[in-house]
Structure 1
Amino acid sequence: MATRSDETVTDAAGIAAAASRAAGKGPPPVHLWDPPFCGDLDMEIRADGSWFYNGTPIGRPEMVRLFASILKREGDSYFLVTPVEKVGIRVIDAPFIAVDADLGDDILLTTNVGDRVVAGPDHAIEMRGTEDHPRPYVHIRRGLWALIDRKTFYRLADAAMPDESGRMNVHSGGTVFPLEP
């Protein structure tokens, strides 16, 4: 449980209930919320995109989607926020995994929590890592990124075209994205 001073202020169920109340139509406006910090919650998003609470996997996809909808990043830290409270959580790599792509004139990527974005200026594809171990990511929203899973990256690589220097790129949203670190 998260604590502030000596009092218990919240747990995952309380955060989920508050998020459900705050969520109307569309994603909650977490970028507008600046509630007081209430402590850290024993919640972790692992590198494979799985969510854990108190060391136990969160098995309900609806619950994971709800928590993902109230996730906020400030600097290198991640928080679940509601209009009245903010709790810290751990994110091992990226909070989301891009698990599919629709390839056409633009690239529509889908995450493990149901977010769908068209790669472009606001949703950049970025290569990190090394030439031997490239790690592709896509920006989802407000500093939150998704690691592009292997099968989806291979599909992107298959659709890539070389530029004049021979570097492989994909095009989407009027933007060119290199698929090499």
Structure 2
Amino acid sequence: MAHNPESIAKQVEQSGESGKGLPPLDKWHPELSGDIDIRITRDGQWIFKGEPLAREAIVRLFSTILRREDDGHYYLVTPVEKWRIEVEDAPLLAHSLEVKGQGSDQALYLTTNVGETLAVGDEHPLVVGCYPDSDEPRPVVKVRHGLEARLVTAAYYDLAEHVIERKADDGSLVLGVWSDGNFYEIGQGS
């Protein structure tokens, strides 16, 4: 059994799926191997046994084999093992925003801390909620397999520059942004 990041990475590489795009996580259903001392901090650092994971390549690989299951827990999954890890907030961060086009025809693109670019749309919707017991906004984009990427403050401020006010179906005014033909509500208007 793998008890460290290097051996987990080796299993994925030996599966023959490494380097072929995203691993087929939806086809991998091993039994729980246990908990592994990996924690993703709110600021996006991957910590193993109290120390940051030193190899960026492993962090990138792990971001492709991570999923959140219906029990609310996060797991690193290989073809033969499944390890529960701790995630303090969202496992990924969206740190830059690119906007193409204007108005209802615009498209928003977010780049994550692991170098993946997500097109905000049906596959990667934007959701702006709040942290529990707080009015602090929690803007996230859905990634895959139950994962989210939280927009860092700078990306959220960049997003705010493209917010418009629009009348909702019930006649109230809402604030939001357009991307890929969808309107994503982020708050109440005046």
Asked if structure 1 preserves the Cα contact closer than 8 Å seen for 2:176 and 2:186, the reply is yes
What runs of 5+ residues in structure 1 fail to find an aligned partner? 1-7
- Which deviations, in whole Å up to 9, do the C-alpha atoms of 1:5-41 show, x marking residues without a partner? xxx6532221011122232410101111001211110
What runs of 5+ residues in structure 2 fail to find an aligned partner? 101-105
C-alpha distance in 2 between matches for 1:99 and 1:24 = 24
RMSD: 1.6
Once the two structures are superposed, the pairs formed by residues 89-168 of structure 1 within 5 Å of their partners are 89-104=85-100, 105-129=106-130, 132-164=135-167, 165-168=172-175
Match of 2:62 among 67, 82, 86: 67
* Structure 1 residue ranges, 4+ long, deviating more than 3 angstroms after superposition: none
C-alpha distance in 1 between matches for 2:136 and 2:2 = 42
Match of 2:74 among 75, 78, 87: 78
- Residues paired across the two proteins, number: 174
Q: Secondary structure at the match of 1:156?
A: helix
Deviates further, 124-133 or 9-18 = 124-133
C-alpha distance in 1 between matches for 2:26 and 2:96 = 26
Match of 1:58 among 53, 63, 74: 53
Whether 2:3 is the aligned partner of 1:10: answer yes
C-alpha distance in 2 between matches for 1:156 and 1:9 = 41
TM-score where L is the length of structure 1: 0.90
C-alpha distance in 1 between matches for 2:150 and 2:107 = 19
C-alpha distance in 2 between matches for 1:163 and 1:134 = 20
C-alpha distance in 2 between matches for 1:169 and 1:70 = 32
**1:65 counterpart letter in structure 2:** R
Deviates further, 96-105 or 131-140 = 131-140
TM-score where L is the length of structure 2: 0.86
Match of 2:39 among 41, 44, 47: 44
